[in-house]
Amino acid sequence: MGEVSQGADLARVDLPRTFDWRPCPGAADESGHLPRFQPHQGFHPQRCPNAPRMRTGKERAVAIDVANRLKVGRLEEIANGCRVVSGGRHGIAVFVDGGRAFAVDNRCPHMGFPLARGSVCDGILTCHWHHARFDLSSGGTFDPWADDVRTYDTVVEDGVVYVDPRPRPIDVERRWKARLRDGLEQNLNLVTVKSVLALQEAGVSPRESVAVGAHFGAEYRAAGWGPGLTILTAMANVLPALEPTDQALGLYHGLVHVARNCDGAPPRFQLDPLPAADVPLAQVKAWFRQFVEVRDPDGAERALLTAIDGGASPAEVADMLFSAATDHLFLDIGHTLDFANKACELLDLIGWDRAAAILPSLVPGMASARRSEELNNWRRPVDLVALIAPAVARLPQLVARAGAGSWDGFDALAGTLLGEDFAASVRALVEALEAGAGLTDLTRTLSYAAALRVAKFHTSNEFGDWITVLHTFTYCNALHQAMRRAPSAELARGIFHGAGALYLDRFLNMPAARLPEHRGADAEPRDADALLARLTDLLDREQQVNEAALVVHRYLSLGHDPADLRAALGHTLLREDGEFHSYQMLEAGLALERELRELQPSRPDEANRVLVAVARYLAAHAPTSRAMLQTARTALRLQRGEAIYEDGEGEDELPA
């Protein structure tokens, strides 16, 4: 008879002596990942009745469906070998080791090689392709890059081995969130993209993946918020514009850059808010700005946390951040305000209840940011700081009347901002406010003018100067989004700061590249699909900047759907090993283009020029080696169950 039995329909199976290190139910933290092992949480039996204990060998009863169980063969026939039976998605490999039968999915979870071709020694199953090692009993891997293998229950009756074709149950969402965390911790691209694909397949909202990455990035980088979290937020923002096959790629890119940013970096240890006290929010805001002013990140962090803990609204917290980010001119070439805005957008996606975990990561960069009034080019030969100061002094009165009138000076103001006279730019902005222009009218116009700098960037410039015009554009976009969220006289200072940066970039439009509307496009196709294919093909070659711009203009001027073009531009970026600024350019450009098209439907030219700017920037930075795309293709083929260790088709499922 069987080694252990119970009734006619159930069989028990001995389990080996092993530790189960799973934490108590409900111990996962708010980021969705399994916490690191803490003795007081998940081990001490007096403190946790569900704490894991060493198994003695016959404590767990396993129910096997006798009617549907699969016969494998006699124990002695399988001994020291392996037998594969049909079951699961890829077959079930049954091994006998030490006189006991074990069953695992036959497909190595790393790269899909048949585990039946592996070997077993001392209870460890080793795959013979990349030598991933697994505990034969639990399926747990000893190699973080390999993932655990699914296991199946077995029973031996009268010397015959049977296997339950149902894999041992797991919480899919919990498992793959934890696995995503592993990928971030170990900086393993394949693990990260496999986790993203698995969560997508399970129907888990992309916000959950973003939340895991957000908490990890905020916690494991002492320097605080950086390019990784910015890219993650930007890609989460553009997901709705992407094709479904590219949405997982967008998350993957963002998460990979978070992992790279944190790789080898010391963690950030968060402070606490001040003890409960009846302190007005205005006082806490003043403290925060003062501490940032004197470059005291600890004091600033405690003030920020005190505001959050005291119940400040998202708009009030954002106002604190934006005020400090504009207390000085164009902090850290625009990154400080951009990062603050992106942090707010991230919380819009994952929930403002996570503000205390995310926003303090902004403080180190804010307190250490370079202040542009200290730079020579802001002082000589034209003292931009002196020209700005009188207008800034009037802002409380000017802002009080902002939006009071009907303003139609978009074109004239954009032209002045792109001109050679910064004093004229300051006067034009002040006059617009006096005429009743809204603050977002001005920030939108400023953003459009900055996009034109990119659209007219001449390829005779130094290649690195693409980033110079990019910084101004992303700053102006951040200012515009921030103004929509939390308008104030303090934040309005950023309008003049952005105008100063735009003025300093004027030499990068000398000469100015001709906009494609002023060049002949008759040689290009007329069909929408043909034009999109042409765009993709152009970005397979280096420096097809003006050619790509011409195709984009041709597509839009013929009245084709801008949504398909947005998706195509997103795809061309996500097939590359993108650099930080390319993600910024795509996200900021799409946001401005959509807004201009919605607000000015009868004037599409401005919106079209923004997409021309996006295409030119992406074309300047393509192609790359596309290593990330290769990893994503591998993960997708594995998800489909392909035998990638064999020569076959399917490599181009994610189109180039």
pLDDT of residue 63: 61
Residues paired with 47 in a beta bridge? none
At 590, list the tokens.
Answer: 């799409």
Quick one: average pLDDT of 200-207? 96
Query: Does the pLDDT value for residue 117 go beyond 60?
Result: yes
d(CA 533, CA 243): 15
pLDDT of residue 90: 76
Band of residue 653 on the pLDDT scale cut at 50, 70, 90: low
Cβ(504)–Cβ(378) under 8 Å?
yes
pLDDT for 594-616, tens place per residue?
999 999 898 899 999 999 999 99
Cβ(645)–Cβ(113) under 8 Å?
yes
Q: Which residue has the tokens 């250490």?
A: 368
d(CA 131, CA 391): 68
pLDDT of residue 61: 52
Residues 6 or more apart whose CB falls under 8 angstroms from that of 362 comprise 224, 225, 321, 339, 340, 343
d(CA 531, CA 443): 33
pLDDT for 218-261, tens place per residue?
999 999 999 999 999 999 999 999 999 899 999 999 999 999 99
Quick one: average pLDDT of 520-532? 93
Burial code of 354-383, b = ≥16 C-beta within 10 A, e = fewer?
bbebbbbbbbbbbbebeebbebeebeeebe
Cβ(533)–Cβ(565) under 8 Å?
no
The pTM of this model reads: 0.88
List the 119-121 sheet strands across, edge first: 119-121, 124-126, 133-135
Q: How many CB atoms lie within 10 A of CB 297?
A: 19
What is the domain class of 4-18+54-167 according to CATH? mainly beta
d(CA 186, CA 174): 18
pLDDT for 8-59, tens place per residue?
332 333 333 332 323 333 334 444 443 333 333 333 333 333 434 444 444 4
d(CA 31, CA 213): 8
Quick one: average pLDDT of 195-209? 97
pLDDT of residue 80: 73
Give the orientation angle of helix 562-574 with respect to helix 244-262, to 10 degrees.
Answer: 40
pLDDT of residue 565: 98
Q: What is the DSSP letter of 17?
A: S
| Amino acid at position 424, single letter | A
* Domain residue ranges of the chain, discontinuous segments joined by +: 4-18+54-167, 172-262, 516-624
SS3 for 131? coil
d(CA 329, CA 422): 15
d(CA 204, CA 207): 8
